[in-house]
Amino acid sequence: MEIVTNPYDLQTRASEWRCSGLRTALVPTMGYLHEGHLTLIDHGRKNADRLMVSLFVNPTQFGPGEDLDTYPRDAERDEALAREHGVDVLFTPTRDSMYAPDHATWVEVPSLAAGLCGVSRPTFFRGVATVVTKLLILAMPNIAMFGEKDYQQLTLIKRMVRDLMLPTEIVGMPIVREADGLALSSRNAYLTEAERAQAPQLYKGLAAAQDVVAGGERDIAAVRQYVESYYAKNLPLGELDYLEFVDPESLVPMTRADGPCRVAVALRLGKARLIDNLRIDPPSGRESEK
C-alpha cells in the first residue's frame, strides 16, 4: 500500500492507472474507520483493479461550534485496516494542500441541501460537495462508494456528479448496523453508557413508522406524531432535530405515504448528533386507500 499526501501525486497515479485501462475505485472517508467504511472498501476491492481510500477531516463541512477539533481520529489504526483490506493508495492530505489560503470556489446543489440536515447545518453540504468534487477530479475513479446512512449526502452527490458530467459512477451501499440496530458512525464514540443504551431506539422509531404505514396509515402527520411519541417515551435523553418523510429522489417533504418515501431523522444525544433513515414502501392494494 502506498500512502500519498500530495493531491497532485494522487492525480498522477490515478491518471496512469486509468489511461492503462485499469478500473479504479475510491472510498472517501474522514477516517476513524469502522465496519461501515470497511464494507465500502471491500466492495471497491471486489469491483476494481486499483482501490484508493481518502482520509481527510474536511474542515469546510464543519460549522461554528461543531466538533472539527475533537472529531475522532486514529491514523495508525486506519492505516492498518486499509492495508488489511487491500487498499492500493491511502490518500491523507493536509488542509493546506486541499484548500489554498485564498480558496474561493464552491460547489453547491441548493435544492437538495436546503432541507433535513441543511436546516441546522446550512454550510455543511457546500463543504461536502466541494471536497467530493475535488476528490473525484484528483482520483478520477470509475466508481466511488458512499453509505446510505448519509442519505441526503448520497442523493446530493449523485445529482452533482450527473449535473457536472463527472466520469464516475456513485455507488450507494446499505447502512451497516450494530446487532441492536444502531447505525455505525464514528461519532458513536461520543456516547456515554446511558446514551448508548437508548441509541438503538432511533432506528426502532423508524421501523415503527414503517409498521404504521404497513398497517394502512397514509397521513404523514399522523405517522410523524406516532414516532415522535415513541421517541419521547423510549429516547428521553435525546433532543430531536428533525423527523421528515421525503421523496426518495427530490427530498421534497411528503404529506401522504401513497408511494415510496424515505423517513429520515436526526437527534442529538449528549455530544453526539445521530442520523438515520429508512425507505418505506407502502403495500399496494385496498389497504393503501386509508
Q: Compute the distance between CA of residue 240 and CA of residue 222 in angstroms, rounded to an integer.
A: 17
In this structure, what CATH number is given to the domain that contains residue 277? 3.30.1300.10
The mean predicted confidence, pLDDT, of the chain is 96
Domain boundary among 108, 141, 173: 173
Q: Compute the distance between CA of residue 267 and CA of residue 274 in angstroms, rounded to an integer.
A: 5
> Into how many domains does the chain fold?
2
The three grid cell numbers given for residue 101, joined into one nine-digit string: 489560503
| Residue written as grid cell 492500493 | 88
Domain boundary among 125, 144, 173: 173
Do 121 and 68 share a structural domain? yes
Residue at 44 is within a domain: yes
Q: Compute the distance between CA of residue 152 and CA of residue 146 in angstroms, rounded to an integer.
A: 11
Query: 236 lies in which domain range?
Result: 186-281
In this structure, what CATH number is given to the domain that contains residue 82? 3.40.50.620
Binding residues for (R)-pantoate: 61, 153
Domain boundary among 149, 173, 197: 173
Binding residues: 30-37, 61, 147-150, 153, 176, 184-187
Burial of residue 169, with CB atoms counted within 10 A of its CB: 0-12 exposed, 13-18 middle, 19 or more buried? middle
- What percentage of the chain carries pLDDT values higher than 70? 98
Residue 40: is its pLDDT beyond 60?
yes
Give 50-78 pLDDT, tens digit per residue. Answer: 999 999 999 999 999 999 999 999 999 99
Do 265 and 231 share a structural domain? yes
Coil, strand or helix at 244: strand
Q: Show which residues are catalytic.
A: 37
Residue 68's identity, in one-letter code, is L
pLDDT grade for 286, boundaries at 50, 70 and 90: very low
Do 135 and 12 share a structural domain? yes
Q: Compute the distance between CA of residue 263 and CA of residue 152 in angstroms, rounded to an integer.
A: 11
- What percentage of the chain carries pLDDT values higher than 90? 97
Which among 127, 163, 102, 162 is positioned nearest to 28, based on CA atoms? 127
Q: Compute the distance between CA of residue 254 and CA of residue 203 in angstroms, rounded to an integer.
A: 20
Q: What is the pTM of this model?
A: 0.95
Do 108 and 200 share a structural domain? no
Check residue 285 and give its pLDDT: 56
Instruction: Give bridge partners of residue 25 from the DSSP assignment.
Output: 51, 143
Binding residues for ATP: 30-37, 147-150, 176, 184-187
Q: Distances in Å between the alpha carbon of 122 and those of 114, 151, 212, 238?
A: 7, 17, 32, 22
Asked if 28 and 54 touch (Cβ cutoff 8 Å), the reply is: yes
